[in-house]
Every structure is written in structure tokens, then in C-alpha cells.
Amino acid sequence: MTTNISTEQALTKEVWKLATTLAGQGVGYTDYVTQLTYLLFLKMDAENEELFEEESSIPEGYRWINLKEMDGLDLLSHYEKTLKILSEQDNLIGTIFTKAQNKIDKPVYLKKVISMIDEQQWLVMDGDVKGAIYEGILEKNGQDKKSGAGQYFTPRPLIQAMVDCLQPQIGETVCDPACGTGGFLLAAYDYMKEQSQDKGKRDFLNNNALHGVDNTPLVVTLASMNLYLHGIGTNRSPIACEDSLEKEPDTMVDVILANPPFGTRPAGSVDINRPDFYVETKNNQLNFLQHMMLMLKNGGRAAVVLPDNVLFEGGAGEIIRKKLLIDFNLHTILRLPTGIFYAE
């Protein structure tokens, strides 16, 4: 029987209660959220097939019904095989399950997560409700410094303020080249979706308007699921698992919203070779700024979070600032207070 939990807060609390139990078994919050993502996607696919008679894109034998009927070591083994098979698919499924691995190595606890998810009818929930539940879980995870996920979050009030300033319009394209779990893209979507009920415009918004890039497979999984739960990119994820700085932009966009990573590039990153850049530098934020300047359409708008050194650094920084002042309409520089980001 389906448990009727009427509020997103109550369900978020239930989901997080199990996270605390698993943490006591050595399963970190980020690992838990990732496994929750995989299993929730499988459950919603099963509901789509059952309630709406939509044909599943998941290979037979690796669907929700197969997992929920198992327990013990058989469950563990089949779940791990399922993750491998689905990670090889060339569609939204492949993006959600990118490099997927099981992190819950005790069958009894994997069964608990499956049972909790199975008690709910997720697909019939309003997109805003199930999306808010998932966002709440991601935000709670982001606030946990031990999980290592805090770096992916920009505070919601700051995101909303930046979207309100740019006022994205339905029919425009919006990009975040360092998208994390998709907070900017979702806020832009929420801003635009109320502007028109026209089917063509809504289809464009849901399937073509948003573009995100992140170079961490786990984060791409979380972002893709975050958008999917809001009805965005239901056939193919708008999130690409790439390094934005490695190549010239494929397309120009109307709106850019971003909080790119600060500091130097991570160890093992490919050296930047961008003939299109205005100046060569190893400064990560200056390179992201150049990248965004080059992908903005004429008349486009951008709101970007950057560290103070972009304002004062000589050499490459000075060249880029001059380019901004001469070739762009630099509207506002707003100094943010310290300590507003979760990871700090």
C-alpha cells in the first residue's frame, strides 16, 4: 500500500532519516544521494510504464520490478549489474547512470532504500513537489561539509537575485558552463515557465532552452536527475559531462548564469589550448570569464560570481577587464559578503 505523505518536508525528512542510518554503516551522504538517484529513476520509469503505458527504454531484466523482488546477495549482485548495463546506454539513462557504482554494500540496507522508494507514487506528484523534495535533499547534502559536496552549491537567494536581474524570457537559451547540480538552470526555468502556456514555447523550454556543463560525472548525474524531476530533458539530458574550457563554444546563448570554480585547475586536467581566448592565463576564473564572453550572443546577458582578484589582477586580468569595458556593457559589480557559501 502506498504511504500517503502529504508534504514535501515530511518526505524529505523520511528520506534523510534513512541517510542518517546508512551514515552509521559507513555510507556517506553523497553516496546515499547518488544511490537514491539511481533507484528513484528506476521507480519512476516503472510508474511511467504502469500508469501511462509508456514503453520503457530500460533493457528488460534490469528494471525496478526485477530489483524489488530480490533480496540478499542476489539483490546486491543484480543491482551492480544493472548499474553497469544502464551506464552504457546512449540517452538520458546513460547520463543519469554515468560511471554508476554501488556504494551500499550490505543487502539489508539496499533493500531498505528500495522499500522506502517503492512506498511512494512519484510520477503522479506535481513536478514542483518532487523536484523540491530532491532539491531539498541536494541542499541538505551540500550543507554537510564532510560529504565534499558543499562546493557545488550557490545559495538559493543569490541564485534567485541573479535570475531576477537578468529576466530570462521564454524562447531564449540559458547556459551555465559550470552547472553543479543545476541550481541556476532550475531557477531560470521557474522564472520562464510562467510566461506562456503555448505548447511550442513550453516544449522548447523543456527540451532546448537550457544547457549545462560540468566535468564531474557524479555531479552530472545529480544535475540531470534534478532537471528530470522538474520535467526538463526527459529524453536527453541538457547537461554535458565535459570540461567547458577545453574547447571553443559550440553555440552562442542569450543568457549565462554561473558561479565557476575558483583557484587553479584540478590535477590531471588537460592544458588549455584556446586560440579564441583574448589572453593566455592559468587563472581558472579568468579563463571561465573569457569563455563566457565568447559564448554570449549580441544583446545577451550574463550574471557571474567571481572572486575579488578578477577586479585587481594585472597582466591577463587587466587585458580581460579592458575587453569587458570596451566590447561589452558592464552593468553592475556587486560585492558579496564573506561566508555566504556552504563550503566556507
Q: pLDDT (tens digit, 9 = 90+) per residue, 178-233? A: 999 999 999 999 999 999 999 999 999 999 999 999 999 999 999 999 999 888 98
DSSP structure string for 223-284: HHHHHHTTTSSSSS-SEEES-GGGS--SS-EEEEEE-PPPSSPPTTPPPP--TTSSS----H
Q: pLDDT (tens digit, 9 = 90+) per residue, 72-111? A: 999 999 999 999 999 999 889 999 999 999 999 999 999 9
143, burial (CB in 10 Å: exposed 0-12, middle 13-18, buried 19+): middle
Which domains, from first to last, does the chain contain?
8-126 (1.20.1260.30), 154-327 (3.40.50.150)
pLDDT recorded at residue 3: 43
> How many Å apart are CA 178 and CA 333, to the nearest integer?
20
Contact call for residues 204 and 68 (beta carbons, < 8 A): no
Out of 18-27, 234-243, 312-321, pick the least confident: 18-27
Q: pLDDT (tens digit, 9 = 90+) per residue, 258-270? A: 999 887 776 667 7
pLDDT recorded at residue 332: 95
pLDDT recorded at residue 4: 42
Contact call for residues 117 and 315 (beta carbons, < 8 A): no
